[in-house]
A and B are shown apart, each in its own frame.
Chain A
Amino acid sequence: MIPATLNAYVAISVVLFAIGLLGVLIRRNTLVVFMCLELMLVAATLALVAFSRFNGTMDGNVLVFFILTVAAAEVAVGLALIVALFRRRRTVQLDELNSLRN
C-alpha cells in the first residue's frame, strides 16, 4: 500500500528540485553549489522511482541505478576540479572567480 498519490510524489520532487535550483542560483560557495546540484539530481531520481512504481515498470528504477553511478563519478571529478581550482586561485567563492570578466 503506497501512502500517497503519484501527484504527491511528483510534487515533492518538484519542490526538492526547486530548492536545489534556488541554491545553485543564490549560493556563492562552489562546494555548496555542487551540493545543491546533487539535491536536484536526487529530486529527479525520486520522480523516476515514483513513476516506475505507479506504472509497474522497471525502466525508471534501472535509470536511477545508472544515475547513482554517474553521480558518484561526477562528484569525484567535480571535487577534483574544485581542488585544482583552489590550488590555482586560493579561493572557492564564485564571485571571486571572475578572470573571464572584461
Chain B
Amino acid sequence: MGTGQILFNAFVLLTVVSAAGVVLNRNAVNAALCLLMALVGVSGLFVALDAYLLAFLLLLVYAGAVVALFLFIIMLLDARGDSRPVLHRLPLAARVIATGLVLGGVASFLMRGRLPEGRAATTAVGAALKPYAHQLFTTYLLPVQVLGFLLLIAMIGVIALSRRPDGPEDAA
C-alpha cells in the first residue's frame, strides 16, 4: 500500500467521520467545526483526483467563508444549544423510516452499483489552470455572465432582507 493509498484512506475516514459528526453533534458550534473537517477531507480527495484548483477553492470558499459565516450566525443568534439528544426528539416511526430509507439506499448502491471499471484518463485535464480559463471564456461564457448577475441579485437580496422593517438600520 503506497503513500497515496494511505493518504486516500485517511481522507476518506476523516470525511465520513466528520460528516457523521455534523449530524450527531448536539452543539451547533461543534457541528460547524465538524463540517470544516469534512470539507478538509473532501478537499484532500479532490487533490487525489488531481483537481488542485478545485481543492484550493473548496478550502477558500467553503472552509474560509461559509463555515466562518455559519459560526458567526450561530454566535449572533446564540443558537448553540439543543435541549434534548438529537435522536430522541422524533417519533420512533419517523426515526426508523428515515434511517432505514437512507441506509437502504446506500446499501443498495454499495451492493449492486457497479460503474464501468475503466482506467482513469491518462492526462489529468483538471490539474492545470489553463483548461478552466479556456472553458469559462468559451463554452461557458453565458453561464459566467448569468452567475455574475446571480451574485449581484443575491447581494441586493441579502441587503434587503437584513434591513429592519421599520426604517433604516443606521438610525439606531
**Does A associate with B in a complex?**
yes
Binding site for B on A (CB under 8 A): 1-7, 9-12, 14-16, 18-23, 25-32, 34-36, 38-39, 42, 45-46, 49-50, 52-59, 61-62, 64-66, 68-77, 79-84, 86-87, 92, 95
Q: Which of A22, A26, A29, A73 contacts B28 (CB 8 A)?
A: A29
> Would A15 and B32 be within 8 Å (CB), given that A23-B23, A62-B132, A76-B158 are in contact?
no
Min distance, Cβ B61 to any Cβ of chain A, angstroms:
5
Sorted from nearest, which 8 A-B pairs have the closest CB atoms? Answer: A56-B121, A73-B154, A23-B23, A3-B8, A25-B98, A80-B161, A61-B126, A19-B19
Which residues of chain B are within 8 angstroms of A82 by Cβ–Cβ distance? 73, 77
Distance between Cα atoms of A3 and B118 in the complex (Å):
14
Residues of B within 8 A of A (CB): 2, 4-5, 7-8, 12, 15-16, 19-20, 22-23, 28, 31-32, 35, 38-39, 42, 45-46, 48-51, 54, 57-58, 61-62, 65-66, 69-70, 73-74, 76-77, 79, 82, 86-87, 89-90, 95, 98-99, 102-103, 105-106, 109-110, 113-118, 120-126, 131-132, 135-136, 139-140, 143, 147, 150-151, 154-155, 157-158, 161-162, 164
